[in-house]
Amino acid sequence: MTQAQDQLKQDSAEAALKYVLAKTSYDAIVGIGTGSTVNYFIDALAASKNRIGGTVASSEASAQRLRGHGIEVFDLNEVDEVAIYVDGADEINPRLEMIKGGGGALTREKIIAAVAREFVCIADGSKWVDHLGRFPLPVEVIPMARGYVWRQLLKLGARPVWREGVITDNGNIIIDAHDFYPIGSARTMEEQINNIVGVVTNGLFALRPADLLLLARDGSVEPVVAKTT
Ligand code: 5RP
């Protein structure tokens, strides 16, 4: 990652903090994603930790970073609602559908995204694509189903690659499905892969896309809402 890209991630994260503080009340629970862009958000949130009710985290890594800053982290089952969820993406298209899970946290990310009233994606320009699928699609799989899921992904036209040595926070494995580019209907593919027995979830976020993208490029942060056509 270049220094310039790092700066863009930070710009997007800081814009998200301003947005979150403007939109939430003092008791609001903020959902926190996972990854290097979100790490900038967590670090920026530290100075405003008393301005929110607390957080829920999409990974053990994010929870640890939040607690390191003295920011309260609740179990998702302890909270009634999540006002806003802030997370990065590996790819995002004009419909604000995403591929996520490069960091392996896709399942918990998808759960918090489902609960949250609003999903704000933070990203630098390298994540913006016309069509999803160049980034290998992460699929979280129950370990005993690895061979079966592998064969089903082959049948769907993918080139599966086992992310060897990686165990998710949920105790499962990740298979990265290469060669799906260009993905036509991301919603259909999300459902199709989730229907394979043994798949916990896949990294397509199309059934629940982002509501807002804060896209940092060329030194400014542009708010982008979904194009519906
Ligand atoms: C982790 C994710 C991340 O949001 C995605 O990988 C982007 O990460 P980064 O901000 O480091 O580029 O889905 O599972």
Residue 229: per-residue pLDDT: 67
Active site residue 109: yes
| Residue 32, C-beta contacts closer than 8 angstroms, at least 6 positions apart | 38, 41, 42, 55, 56, 57, 58, 62, 66, 85, 86, 87
Rg (CA), the chain: 17
Residue 2: per-residue pLDDT: 85
Mutate to test the pocket of ligand 1, among 86, 100, 110 (most ligand atoms within 8 A of CB): 100
Measured from CB, residues less than 6 Å from any atom of ligand 1 are 33-37, 87-90, 100-106, 109
Per-10-residue mean pLDDT for the chain, 229 residues long? 90 98 96 98 97 98 98 97 98 98 98 98 98 98 98 98 97 98 98 98 98 95 90
**CA distance linking residue 197 with residue 18, whole number of Å:** 42
Residue 3: per-residue pLDDT: 84
Counting from 1 in the atom list of ligand 1, the atom nearest the Cα of 138 is: 14
Residue 219: per-residue pLDDT: 85
Counting from 1 in the atom list of ligand 1, the atom nearest the Cα of 100 is: 13
**CA distance linking residue 79 with residue 116, whole number of Å:** 11
